[in-house]
Structures are given as structure tokens and as C-alpha cells.
């Protein structure tokens, strides 16, 4: 299941989505820089880059000097083109209307906040993790959670592979099902990590952490959207 | 009758001038006076003083012919200008001035009583009755600033009437800063109807918001603009139907002030290895919190629109465009205050 497009229009600002687009551009440029490092610098260049700017809980708890920047920088790093594409597609699909409901400035800070919350939850659960975590997915799960809270009735055009047949079809699915589907995908491995100490290459707890941050979206809403929410009107 | 005859003759022929004609007019005026045609006599004497303002006899006659005390005082003063030693007219003037003062006091007392009555009506919620009474007061005595002020406050439906009432209040009390500021604010809102609509919407006054949005939509200069504004009309109509609850400004400002705190709190908590004690002792964190809250507050004030109490107290002088400038400045300052700690921290962490 791949969300492709949010079918609803903006309500508050015709051009809302500029910060989302800016984030996509910044993430893409940084991936470009990573690729440049990987192909032109020495072999350890990209490794050093990830170690310095990726989020490593062990280094955070050890209080290593210069580790602070990784708390934010890891949100803008990706491990490859598909990693970036998946994240940015989700950011575009779910971010535009959340940005519209929050306003550009507050949305940017909400995005950072969700990313930080993801890092914090991840650091709590995986205290001894020494592999750098990278990716915007924690923040994007925050945005998805906010979307679920604000627009549960929203319709998302989703690319689905038909079971058994493997034929791709575009379906209009309610946002609540799309988001819950992705949340469900995180929950089982996250429990496995917590109970059995299983090792995965994906930061499931960071995703859940980002999702938790969505509860705070009400502090970031513009006044009209906030009032509409409490009036049970479509935000 | 005499006067109309006189007018029709003067319409037919070119106006006559000269000493002879004035004398003829005077004769007619005295004749009318003797015959008891006081109105005609008054018209004629008025025409005489218009032609020759130094005609003391005509002025003297007008002292008795005019009914209004203020006019009679004027006539007395003109006579005394021309003949300063006329004791009889001086005595009349003194009497008239006493009378004038007495009338003025009576009028003021009446205005005060009526204004208090209007206030009582407003307290009882009888807005329409209060507005009618205030209109009568301002018509009878247009120098009572408080009545104009109250009338302005009750002119919710008509922004032009409100501005007119405020201008009159400012004319009555030019030194009153509050009147000046409120007038400036409403002039600004008249020129920025989108803010006016937003203000009414924020207050949950859907009827007013819709009325002004309709008017605003009609002023659209292009089809695109019209469509955009029409969408707002529909949105407001939906809101009116749903009648959402009003959220107090205080809670809104608190909510909009707090949001920058959350990312900073998490960021510094992570930097200080999730230790609350280290966080509390970090001066950079404390400074950042203060700045973030200040920025959040400024942006909250910006969201609250021009009619908010915070904007009302902003000293802006007489320039209503100052609101727009001030809002831009507040927006920039707010964003700087919120973003600065992050930029400083990033700079420190990177270099």
C-alpha cells in the first residue's frame, strides 16, 4: 500500500504546502550531497558523515562532544533513493493539509518536534544502540498522526497491489485506514524489540515516538482550525 | 407672502443694488413690522444686514425679531461693535447671555440624564431603543463626546456610521487619546475588510462577519478574487449553521504562546542527556525558553487581529497604516525570537 495523493483541497491557504515542499527539497539536496560523498570522497567519508550526523543513542547518553547536531541533522539524512522517495511521498501526501491547518511557521516547528520526539523515544528504548539512525520517518509519522487526528474523513488515493494477482490499482481509501495500516506495521516489530530485544534495520520505536508527538498538534493549529476541530466541523 | 413676492420679483429681474434700494427695503421692513408681519420683517432685515453689515438699525431690529438666543446675542454684539455706548443693548446682551448660560446648563443636564438613560437601556439589552435615544441626543446637542462615543459603540452594523460618530467624538474632545486610537483602528478596519471579517469570526459573530464578507465579495476586481471570497462566504455560512462555541482570547493566546516551547524542551533535554536537573541549570536553555515564549506570544498577538484588546492599547498616533506596519514588525520580531535560539544552537553545534 502506497499513499500517492491527498484528494482534498486546502482550506485556509491556497498555497499551503510550501514548507512541505521546502523540506522535500532540502532532504533531496542532502541525499545528493551524501551520494557525492559516497562516490567522490574516500571510502570512510560517507561512514564518517553518517556517524557524525546520524543519531546514535549511546553517544547521546555518553555526552560526547558535538553529538548535539545529530539530534536534528538525522532527520534530513536518508540511506538511499528509495528511502527518500518513500518518506517524501508520505510527507507530501500527509503534510500539505497539516501545514494548511497549522500555518507554515508552526508546521515547521511541529515537524521538528515530531522528529525530536521520535529521537527521544528511540533513545529511551534503545539506550545501547550504537548504529546511527537516519531518516525523516519519525517526523513524518508525527505528521501522519496529526493528519489522522485532524482529517480522519480525508480520502487518500493509494496504490495497492491486489492480493494474489499482484496487479497495481489506485484506490481512494479513507485516511484513517491508511494511517492505521502503517501504524499497525510498526506496532508488531516495536513490541518484538521491546520484549525480546530483536534487532531490526528500521527504527520502529522512533516511528511510534513520532506518532505520539501528533497529540501535541493542537498547540500548533491556527485559531480557526482549532475552533473548527472543537466544533466537530471538518478541520 | 411678502417675502415670496419679493423673491419672485428678484428672480425675474437682476438683483437691485445701491443705497436707494436698501432704503426701500428698510421702509418695507418697518412697514411689515408695524403691520405685525414679523416673519416678513425678519427676512427683510436679514437681507438688509446681508447687503450692508454696518446697518445698525437693522441689527437692532433683529435683536427682537430673532427667536434663537444665540442669534440674538450675535445681533447684540454687532450693534455694540458699531455703537459701543448703547447701554440698553448692553443690558439686553447681559440678560441674553445669562439666559444663554442657563439654557446651556439645562441642555447639558438634559443630555446627561438622557445619556444615563441610554446607558441604562444598553445594560437592559435594549440596543435599538438606546441607539434611537443616542441619535436624538447627538442631533440636539452635537457637542457631547460621550453620546457620540456610545453611539459609535452601538453602530455594529454600519461601519461608516461608527466612523462618523467617532470623528464627532474626536471633534468634541480632540485631546482624548482613546477616541483617536479607536478612530484610527476603525479606519484601518474599514480599509481592510478581510480583517474586519476575521475579527467578527474570531468573536463568533457570524451575522456581522457574513454581512461584511458579502460586501467584500461584491468589491472583487476579478473572477478569481470573487470565487475566493465567495468560498469564504460559504465557509462562514456553514459556521453560522454549526454555531461553534466561542474560545476565549486568553486561552487562545496561551495556546499560541506555548507551541515553540515543546521542540526546544525536547531538543535541550536530549542534549543534556535527558536530565531534568542539567536542563534546569542550563542558562542557554533558559534564555531560549524565554525567547521562544516571547516569540510565541508576539505571533499569538499577531493572530488576534486588529481589534484585539492588545492592539487597541498599542500607541499608534493618528496614522492608521501604522497598524499594518506594526503587524509586520511584530511578525518579524516573533519569528526572530522563536528561530534565533535554534540558529544559535545550530551554529554552535556545527562550528
- Give the pLDDT score at B339: 93
pLDDT higher than 70, residue B14: no
- Give the pLDDT score at B205: 81
Q: Under an 8 A CB cutoff, do B267 and A72 touch? A: yes
For B208-233, write each residue's pLDDT tens digit.
Answer: 888 888 888 888 888 888 888 888 88
Residue of B nearest to A53 (CA): B350
Q: Under an 8 A CB cutoff, do A112 and B271 touch? A: no
- Give the pLDDT score at B115: 86
Residue B118 Cα, gap to closest chain A Cα (Å): 35
Quickly list H helices, B17-158: 19-35, 38-51, 56-65, 69-82, 87-123, 127-140, 145-154
| C-alpha to C-alpha distance for B16 and B13, rounded to whole angstroms | 8
Size of interface A-B (CB pairs under 8 A): 79
Residue B339 Cα, gap to closest chain A Cα (Å): 10
Residue A90 Cα, gap to closest chain B Cα (Å): 22
Coil/strand/helix, residue B18: coil
Q: Under an 8 A CB cutoff, do B228 and A120 touch? A: no
A224 interaction partners in chain B (CB closer than 8 Å): 201
Contacts of A219 (CB under 8 A, 6+ apart): B255, B258, B259, B262
Q: Are B211 and B329 in contact (CB under 8 A)?
A: no
Q: Between residues A153 and B4, which one has the greater pLDDT?
A: A153
| C-alpha to C-alpha distance for B333 and B312, rounded to whole angstroms | 19
Contacts of A217 (CB under 8 A, 6+ apart): A98, A102, A110, A145, A146, A149, A150
Question: What is the mean predicted confidence (pLDDT) over B35-55?
Answer: 91
Cα–Cα separations (whole angstroms), residue B102 to A10, B70, B97, B139: 67, 12, 8, 20
- Give the pLDDT score at B312: 58
pLDDT higher than 60, residue B320: no
Phi, psi of A169 (to 5 degrees): -135, 150
Q: Under an 8 A CB cutoff, do B238 and A72 touch? A: no
Residue of B nearest to A215 (CA): B262
Q: Under an 8 A CB cutoff, do B263 and A113 touch? A: yes
| C-alpha to C-alpha distance for A75 and A20, rounded to whole angstroms | 14
Q: Are A171 and A157 in contact (CB under 8 A)?
A: yes
Q: Under an 8 A CB cutoff, do B274 and A117 touch? A: no
B259 interaction partners in chain A (CB closer than 8 Å): 106, 109-110, 219-220
Residue of B nearest to A115 (CA): B263
The mean pLDDT of chain A is: 88
Q: Which has the closest alpha carbon to B77: B52, B59, B99, B50?
A: B59
A218 interaction partners in chain B (CB closer than 8 Å): 255
Name the residue facing A116 among B244, B263, B335 (closest C-beta).
Answer: B263
Our CA angle for A53, A58, A61, nearest 5°, is 100
pLDDT band at residue B12 under the 50/70/90 scheme:
very low
| C-alpha to C-alpha distance for B153 and B134, rounded to whole angstroms | 11
pLDDT higher than 80, residue B274: no
pLDDT band at residue B103 under the 50/70/90 scheme:
confident
Q: Residue A75 gets which letter from DSSP?
A: G
Helix (H) or strand (E) segment spanning residue B165: helix B159-172
Q: Which has the closest alpha carbon to B29: B1, B48, B10?
A: B48
| C-alpha to C-alpha distance for B331 and B314, rounded to whole angstroms | 15
Contacts of A127 (CB under 8 A, 6+ apart): A57, A58, A61
Residue B179 Cα, gap to closest chain A Cα (Å): 29
pLDDT higher than 90, residue B9: no
Residue B255 Cα, gap to closest chain A Cα (Å): 6
Q: Under an 8 A CB cutoff, do B349 and A66 touch? A: yes
Q: Torsion-angle region of residue A103: left (phi > 0), alpha (psi -120 to 50) or beta?
A: left
Q: Are B339 and B232 in contact (CB under 8 A)?
A: no
Q: Under an 8 A CB cutoff, do B273 and A119 touch? A: no
pLDDT higher than 90, residue B207: no
For A47-93, write each residue's pLDDT tens digit.
Answer: 888 888 899 888 888 877 777 888 889 999 998 899 999 999 999 99
Q: Between residues A83 and B196, which one has the greater pLDDT?
A: A83
A110 interaction partners in chain B (CB closer than 8 Å): 259
Name the residue facing B260 among A109, A227, A231 (closest C-beta).
Answer: A109
- Give the pLDDT score at B11: 46
Residue A229 Cα, gap to closest chain B Cα (Å): 9
Task: Take residue B238 and report the three cell numbers written for it.
Answer: 456553514
Residue of A nearest to B231 (CA): A11
Q: Under an 8 A CB cutoff, do B270 and A69 touch? A: no
B346 interaction partners in chain A (CB closer than 8 Å): 69, 72
- Give the pLDDT score at A41: 66
- Give the pLDDT score at A82: 92
- Give the pLDDT score at B140: 82
Contacts of B155 (CB under 8 A, 6+ apart): B131, B161, B162, B165
Residue whose C-alpha cell reads 571510502 in the numeric block:
A43
pLDDT higher than 90, residue B270: no
Q: Under an 8 A CB cutoff, do B267 and A71 touch? A: yes
DSSP line for B21-49: HHHHHHHHHHHHHHHT-HHHHHHHHHHHH
Residue whose C-alpha cell reads 421702509 in the numeric block:
B27
Task: Take residue B30 and report the three cell numbers written for it.
Answer: 418697518
Question: What is the mean predicted confidence (pLDDT) over B123-135?
Answer: 86
Q: Under an 8 A CB cutoff, do A222 and B303 touch? A: yes
Collect all residues from A whose CB is shorter than 8 A from any CB in B: 11, 14, 60-61, 63, 66, 68-69, 71-72, 105-106, 109-110, 112-113, 116-117, 119-120, 123-124, 216, 218-220, 222-224, 226-228, 230-233
| C-alpha to C-alpha distance for A23 and B194, rounded to whole angstroms | 31
pLDDT higher than 70, residue B317: no
Q: Under an 8 A CB cutoff, do A71 and B271 touch? A: yes
Residue B287 Cα, gap to closest chain A Cα (Å): 18
* Ranges in chain A, pLDDT < 70: 41-43
Distance separating the N- and C-terminal Cα atoms of chain A = 26
DSSP line for B316-339: -TT-TTHHHHHHHHHHHHHHHHHH
- Give the pLDDT score at A125: 87
Name the residue facing A69 among B255, B259, B349 (closest C-beta).
Answer: B349
| C-alpha to C-alpha distance for B49 and B26, rounded to whole angstroms | 10
Question: What is the mean predicted confidence (pLDDT) over B52-73?
Answer: 90
Task: Take residue B202 and report the three cell numbers written for it.
Answer: 474570531
Q: Under an 8 A CB cutoff, do B263 and A119 touch? A: no
- Give the pLDDT score at B170: 93
Amino acid at each position: 500500500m502506497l499513499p500517492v495523493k491527498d484528494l482534498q483541497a486546502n482550506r485556509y491557504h491556497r498555497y499551503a504546502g510550501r514548507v512541505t515542499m521546502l523540506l522535500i527539497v532540502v532532504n533531496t539536496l542532502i541525499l545528493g550531497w551524501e551520494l557525492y560523498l559516497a562516490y567522490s570522497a574516500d571510502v570512510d567519508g560517507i561512514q564518517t558523515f553518517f556517524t557524525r550526523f546520524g543519531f546514535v543513542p549511546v553517544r547521546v547518553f555518553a555526552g560526547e562532544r558535538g553529538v548535539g547536531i545529530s539530534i536534528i541533522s538525522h532527520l534530513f539524512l536518508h540511506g538511499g533513493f528509495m528511502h527518500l522517495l518513500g518518506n517524501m511521498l508520505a510527507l507530501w501526501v500527509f503534510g500539505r493539509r497539516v501545514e494548511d491547518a497549522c500555518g507554515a511557521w508552526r508546521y515547521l516547528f511541529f515537524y521538528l518536534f515530531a522528529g525530536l520526539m521520535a529521537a527521544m523515544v528511540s533513545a529511551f528504548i534503545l539506550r545501547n544502540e550504537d548504529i546511527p539512525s537516519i531518516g525523516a520517518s519519525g517526523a513524518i509519522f508525527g505528521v501522519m498522526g496529526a493528519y489522522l487526528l485532524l482529517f480522519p474523513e480525508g480520502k487518500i488515493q493509494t496504490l495497492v497491489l491486489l492480493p494474489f494477482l499482484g496487479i497495481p490499482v489506485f484506490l481512494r481509501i479513507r485516511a484513517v485506514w491508511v494511517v492505521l495500516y502503517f501504524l499497525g506495521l510498526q506496532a508488531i516489530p516495536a513490541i518484538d524489540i521491546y520484549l525480546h530485544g530483536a534487532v531490526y534495520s528500521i527504527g520502529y520505536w522512533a516511528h511510534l515516538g513520532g506518532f505520539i508527538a501528533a497529540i501535541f498538534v493542537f498547540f500548533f493549529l491556527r485559531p480557526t482550525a482549532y475552533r473548527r476541530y472543537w466544533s466537530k466541523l471538518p478541520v | 407672502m411678502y417675502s415670496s413676492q419679493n423673491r419672485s420679483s428678484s428672480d425675474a429681474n437682476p438683483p437691485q443694488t445701491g443705497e436707494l434700494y436698501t432704503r426701500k427695503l428698510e421702509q418695507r421692513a418697518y412697514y411689515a413690522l408695524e403691520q405685525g408681519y414679523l416673519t416678513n420683517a425678519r427676512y427683510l432685515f436679514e437681507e438688509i444686514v446681508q447687503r450692508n453689515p454696518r446697518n445698525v438699525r437693522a441689527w437692532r431690529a433683529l435683536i427682537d425679531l430673532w427667536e434663537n438666543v444665540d442669534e440674538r446675542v450675535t445681533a447684540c454684539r454687532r450693534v455694540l461693535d458699531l455703537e459701543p455706548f448703547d447701554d440698553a443693548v448692553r443690558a439686553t446682551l447681559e440678560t441674553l447671555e445669562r439666559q444663554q448660560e442657563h439654557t446651556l446648563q439645562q441642555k447639558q443636564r438634559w443630555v446627561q440624564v438622557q445619556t444615563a438613560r441610554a446607558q441604562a437601556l444598553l445594560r437592559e439589552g435594549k440596543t435599538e431603543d438606546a441607539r434611537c435615544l443616542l441619535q436624538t441626543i447627538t442631533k440636539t446637542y452635537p457637542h457631547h463626546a460621550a453620546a457620540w462615543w456610545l453611539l459609535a459603540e452601538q453602530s455594529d452594523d454600519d461601519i461608516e456610521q461608527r466612523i462618523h460618530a467617532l470623528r464627532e467624538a474626536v471633534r468634541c474632545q480632540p485631546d482624548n487619546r482613546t477616541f483617536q486610537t479607536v478612530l484610527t483602528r476603525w479606519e484601518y478596519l474599514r480599509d481592510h475588510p478581510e480583517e474586519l471579517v476575521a475579527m467578527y469570526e474570531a468573536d463568533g459573530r457570524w451575522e456581522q462577519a457574513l454581512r461584511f464578507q458579502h460586501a467584500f465579495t461584491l468589491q472583487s476586481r476579478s473572477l478569481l478574487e470573487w470565487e475566493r471570497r465567495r468560498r469564504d462566504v460559504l465557509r462562514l455560512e456553514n459556521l453560522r449553521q454549526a454555531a461553534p462555541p466561542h474560545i476565549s482570547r486568553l486561552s487562545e493566546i496561551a495556546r499560541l504562546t506555548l507551541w515553540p516551547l515543546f521542540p526546544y524542551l525536547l531538543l535541550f533535554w536530549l542534549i543534556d542527556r535527558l536530565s531534568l536537573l542539567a536542563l534546569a541549570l542550563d542558562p542557554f536553555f533558559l534564555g531560549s525558553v524565554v525567547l521562544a515564549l516571547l516569540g510565541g506570544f508576539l505571533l499569538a498577538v499577531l493572530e488576534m487581529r486588529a481589534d484585539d484588546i492588545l492592539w487597541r492599547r498599542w500607541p499608534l498616533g493618528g496614522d492608521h497604516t501604522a497598524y499594518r506596519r506594526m503587524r509586520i514588525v511584530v511578525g518579524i520580531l516573533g519569528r526572530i525570537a522563536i528561530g534565533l535560539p535554534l540558529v544559535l544552537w545550530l551554529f554552535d553545534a556545527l562550528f
